[in-house]
Structure 1
């Protein structure tokens, strides 16, 4: 097995943010020597604003284009907002308390509403002259989503299936109004971006469909029944406040639609087959979207053809993409498959997505390219819990969290073995975050199926992870399990890899982040100690990072370690000195 080149450039999948009243000025997150940093952009070129060892990924620009906001956090995500003059100069503290970034929105005059996360949420108003007021404090998980054009109202989002999934705040008085629609989940998009208009755009979901909805101060929540989708939608406003840009994810791919609210029309916009990671109509009306597919890394595309941030990235991608639908008692499981040029059956890596409410997309993944480049097939199944296949599929944990997904995973593996694609004696399971959790659970629950296991930043002990995680993660866990570990101890124990550690037979690689606030490192260390006590072959590596690991160095460490470990376990030779590209 020869040396494999690994692309360690980083790409933050968001379009640039343009100033509302200065549309020739924008901010974006770009790559600097393998880490994310904030840049200020004009037609004359880009200027780097931030320079921090761990990178910077959260930023905004005020409506006038005078100031760049950026979040100065540590590896656990705790920090402070700072502001820097757009044209250059020293950064200053924004005068807000420390905590987690939990939303930033600005009104037309530059007044900012800022959410600061801790055990709950505090919402602050920062005036253009620098004065800061506390608007309100809230228990549990919540995040600030938007501020109305006038600055009079702000909106908070909670878990979409919470009894009160959203709250509208009166910024002046701190009074608040709960938003809900009986029998519906609810997501907040934002206020109309035009003067005098305080309509709030929402998404609702039943067991069968997703719909658009509006909230108005006098009329409450009203669904727009002329449009609905069987799969997830992400709406945002056009600058005119009369049209909505809709990104819809369906069967591992994306599409963009333009909805005219007055005419009640739905127009499919031309985009290339693949996945759209984010999309936004800029103040000048130009549509920007970040596009990718299995063979092409993410890059920015614009409807106008103007490319403010340079051309697309190019990377050599190995393998031939295919897809299969595998029939199961629960329904068909859609799987993205990439195969190498060598004759089958192949050593096969099952790459598990996180979430759980996410999906394996027709999108570039460096692990897919590297594994197929060394002769492995890669299968990316969209088991139950995945988005893009309807609300019923997304919410199905009927055989228990984790175990439901493993049933679908086993069915896909059996199908690929029977079809002659996968070598049944050389199959591995690999995942990150919730996907890493599933990999460890599979190691103990399905030990006869896997010859190698690799988990990056995983949940290893579900109850312990719950107690050390952020409010957002705990809210999701309570929804999936029907309560916290004190209320549902048996369910958490059954779903925990730690419970099944005695059955693990395959060699296990675990990479864990030292400052992970979603999958805490202590529970990972305890699981690895249990492997050691039982004499299971294993390897533990630590990355100096938080849960996301937004640097090229972490990216390279994870990919090279996972491929080396899995390839060796499946019968290949260890990779020789993986090299960096870019």
Structure 2
């Protein structure tokens, strides 16, 4: 079999990568200003957004790109982490959107990772959650006037993984999701008074293994109601909790099926409406919920597709980050009552010519224990009736992520070359319920691989895949699963392509940034010293001797999530046992922000697969 890569610079698969993509966020109290993250320059950078005329002004010039930032509620400041070559460790920078002046707000601190950052509604308090190996996780607040900051105020510190908090209208209250009690995989909420952080205002606990996630406080003065979600029913459902009185209102969502998560997206400025997103069977539906009468309004004219975020605008419209398998990510405006499409907010970023995409459909199949697994199947358009196809089996990163019907140049690139492509939502994926997500905890790698093998079985039984030409691929956690499946089920695969992957969980824990060490403890239920057998069993390096198929690894040199040493050890062991392993190291971190670099990675994989197939043929 000879599947020659299409190397023409104008090939459709390359054009899709080069389409302008953008994510946009309006300042909460100044809707004329926004923050846009865009690859307009060829590398993702931060832009100041003049919402009225669509004008963008580039604010960052990082060689490895910058894809994360936050705009203050008044729109006068934009914040981001200034790191080194994408390693996600550095200092928090404030940019004045009027003057473009950049200020390091923690010049005297050692470098750290930023978890989350927010300002209060009146932009007088900045709150930021950071982590480092010396201090664990720390939540600070700072008083602020424009870009002048008061001294740091330590609100909360823990060695346990945490990532979500909310700050009240005037910055006097913060609520944080904590894992400081013995709750298994669960979490609870703790409320602090920023003027006296040693005293807890209140605590909310929904029970063992239940997660509670804060979203935002009401945008009204002296209003201590918090919008949050809990999965105590087995799926996420929204509620409002008054942190001062402990009164709680769980939303009536009876008209929704008792499946799929419902996530709160935004709270209207008058405090009367809540914007909700229901995800079920990979279908995204937006609702508005009226607090006064409990009526849930389905925005029935909402265009189909994937919705990443949405917020109310002052004219009653809803600003949505939206994409489909045929249309790249856009910022659009929808009618706030019906969901009908109104306009594209950033027309200048939409290319006139978008290469046609292939039809993608949702499929389900049973895993080894009978659990149904959902995935997305894409097939080439061909008149060839000769039988099954060479196939790419793709695992998303995370694991707390989900494969959706999104615009995906990587998928289209494979299908353009005649491959079938299946991306699966293995156990551990989000939006399928608490039991589904938590199934992998304290048994990392086992159920995910069961689901991957079940996907292979289904593809063969359906006549879609050639049994001896199924390749595994994935990035980050998906790259980890690629290496693990190659070692634990070596007879099933033609090869595997792993990007920025995890190879050894124990060494990974030793070398990772603190935020990932905390997350590992949550996944495994302890440290490598406490759970040595679990860490060994879950690590791909344990199974190197069993690997049969060739392996291609693409790994970053400056990644603190998947650091160098575990993969160097894996590479050495593969060569020790004379395994067919190629590895490409590139400058950068965990995020792939450079468009041409991403195309280069994809092209490298296409050429590698061609060589593997030609070798097998001879």
> Shared topology, TM-score over 0.5?
yes
What SS class does the counterpart of residue 187 from structure 1 fall into? strand
Q: 2:417 aligned to 374, 377, 381, which one?
A: 374
Equivalent in the alignment of 2:206: 181
The answer as to 2:305 corresponding to 1:239 is no
- Residues 359 and 567 of structure 1: is their aligned pair in 2 closer, same or farther, counting only changes over 3 Å? farther
Q: 1:484 aligned to 504, 509, 527, which one?
A: 527
Equivalent in the alignment of 2:462: 419
Structure 1 residue 162: Cα displacement = 5.8
The answer as to 2:310 corresponding to 1:279 is yes
CA offsets, 1:111-149, max 9 Å, x none? 222333223214131321432232334022334633211
Equivalent in the alignment of 2:39: 31
What SS class does the counterpart of residue 333 from structure 1 fall into? strand
Equivalent in the alignment of 1:580: none
Structure 1 residue 317: Cα displacement = 4.1
- Residues 108 and 496 of structure 1: is their aligned pair in 2 closer, same or farther, counting only changes over 3 Å? closer
CA offsets, 1:513-558, max 9 Å, x none? 1111111121011111111111111110112111112222432232
Q: 2:76 aligned to 42, 47, 66, which one?
A: 66
Q: Please, what TM-score do these two structures have when normalized by structure 2?
A: 0.87
Structure 1 spans left out of the alignment, 5+ residues: 574-582
Q: 1:110 aligned to 123, 142, 146, which one?
A: 123
The CA distance in 2 between the partners of 1:148 and 1:517, in whole Å, is 32
Moved more, 266-275 or 413-422: 266-275
Equivalent in the alignment of 1:578: none
CA offsets, 1:267-310, max 9 Å, x none? 22232222112222235543111222223222222115243322
Q: Is the 8 A contact 1:146 1:191 kept in 2?
A: yes
Q: Is the 8 A contact 1:37 1:55 kept in 2?
A: yes
Q: Is the 8 A contact 1:167 1:176 kept in 2?
A: no
Structure 1 residue 466: Cα displacement = 2.2
CA offsets, 1:410-459, max 9 Å, x none? 12211211221101111100011111000000111111110110000111
Q: Is the 8 A contact 1:436 1:458 kept in 2?
A: yes
Q: How does 1:157-556 map to 2 (within 5 A)?
A: 157-158=177-178, 164-177=187-200, 178-183=203-208, 184-206=210-232, 208-220=234-246, 222-224=248-250, 226-227=252-253, 230-235=259-264, 236-269=266-299, 270-303=301-334, 305-310=342-347, 312-313=350-351, 315-328=354-367, 329-342=369-382, 343=384, 344-397=387-440, 400-556=443-599
Equivalent in the alignment of 1:123: 140
The CA distance in 2 between the partners of 1:266 and 1:57, in whole Å, is 34
Structure 1 residue 506: Cα displacement = 0.7
The CA distance in 2 between the partners of 1:214 and 1:481, in whole Å, is 32
Structure 2 spans left out of the alignment, 5+ residues: 336-341
- Residues 10 and 121 of structure 1: is their aligned pair in 2 closer, same or farther, counting only changes over 3 Å? farther
CA offsets, 1:360-394, max 9 Å, x none? 11112211100000000001122222223222222
Q: Is the 8 A contact 1:185 1:206 kept in 2?
A: yes
Structure 1 residue 221: Cα displacement = 6.5
Q: Please, what TM-score do these two structures have when normalized by structure 1?
A: 0.92
The CA distance in 1 between the partners of 2:118 and 2:466, in whole Å, is 52
Q: Is the 8 A contact 1:295 1:364 kept in 2?
A: yes
The CA distance in 2 between the partners of 1:88 and 1:203, in whole Å, is 39
Q: Is the 8 A contact 2:113 2:130 kept in 1?
A: yes
- Residues 162 and 62 of structure 1: is their aligned pair in 2 closer, same or farther, counting only changes over 3 Å? same
- Residues 164 and 295 of structure 1: is their aligned pair in 2 closer, same or farther, counting only changes over 3 Å? closer
